[in-house]
Amino acid sequence: MTMLTRTSKKIVMPNFLIIGAAKAGTTALHYYLNQHPQIYTSPVKETKFFVFDGQTVDYQGPGDQQANREVITNIEAYREQFSGVSEEIAIGEASPLYLYHPRASERIHYYLPDVKLIAILRNPVDRAYSSFLHLIRDGREPLTNFAQALKEEESRINNNWALLWHYKNAGFYYPQLKRYFDRFSQSQIKIYLYEDLHNSPLKVLQDLFQFLEVDETFIPDMSTKYNVSRIPKNRVLHRFLTESHPVKSIFKPVMPETFRKTIVSNITNQNLGKPKLSPKIRSELLEIYREDLSKLENLIERDLTHWLN
């Protein structure tokens, strides 16, 4: 049976989706899979189409306006993402919001009832904190105190901030996955833990290659780390290094571009760090997630007690 899903106009649509979770390794997985000669992944890594199909996106949080413009909201533009497919067998994309958004599973099933679904789950506390650090790194999160950000989460949601600001709410995986288990056959769904990908990436990929019916002997380059969440130790220096600044133009005529980029990259990396999460906040969040994790264990048939320690 062919894995290509085509519309009546013979336009290729994806036959696999990486649905989440955010900050759980989906970016790395996307790029690892993309190296396989029999796998095609969309040029836009996160199309978010099945979250925003037919909608006008108007989130109001810091930086949300730019993000609003990057979303694919119509089927024609979505199909265009796969116009470059030639002889590939597995065709897909990765949009971590598909797991969290309440209507994404319904829309996916409408367009792609036979699609294969891949999810990576990360300890919800670590995922929430990583999302917080990610938005600080990108200059969007105005707070530096995670506890305060958690307190303001409901207010932000009510003020129409985007889904990526839902630090705590996005961590209740059981109802999110249950929506997919209710609509799709279990044979269409592959679920991994973040630890699986981190500790045994090749094993995960070979299992996925089998799931996607492509050559299992292919070994991708997995040396690059993607989308690591670290925050600036010095915000002023970070803005100077990452944003346009008239002083930086002075060096352009006298310093080769590759040399400039190397220096900026090295200084930027030295200025980034990852502060530890407070044990008190970790403990409080784990208690909030405890019941959900118990249900999740039964749903995915994996022992998650190490997440609760």
Which pLDDT score is estimated for 121? 99
pLDDT tens per residue, range 80-104: 999 999 999 999 999 999 999 999 9
Which pLDDT score is estimated for 273? 62
Helical pair 279-300 and 124-137, crossing angle rounded to 10 deg: 120
**Domain membership flag for residue 5:** no
Q: Which two tokens stand for residue 168?
A: 């705590």
Contacts of 215 (CB under 8 A, 6+ apart): 36, 37, 38, 209
Which pLDDT score is estimated for 274? 73
Alpha-carbon distance 207 to 216, whole Å?
8
Q: Which two tokens stand for residue 190?
A: 């592959």
Confidence check: pLDDT of 281 > 80:
yes
Among 22-31, 136-145, 165-174, 272-281, whose mean pLDDT is lowest?
Answer: 272-281
Confidence check: pLDDT of 256 > 80:
no
pLDDT band of 115, cuts 50, 70, 90: very high
37, 73: one domain = yes
Domain, as residue range, for 267 = 231-273
- CATH number for the domain spanning 128: value is 3.40.50.300
pLDDT tens per residue, range 151-193: 999 999 999 999 999 999 999 999 999 999 999 999 999 999 9
Our count of domains for the chain comes to 2
258, 299: one domain = no
260, 148: one domain = no
Which pLDDT score is estimated for 8? 47
Q: Quickly list DSSP for 195-206.
A: HHHHH-HHHHHH
46, 80: one domain = yes
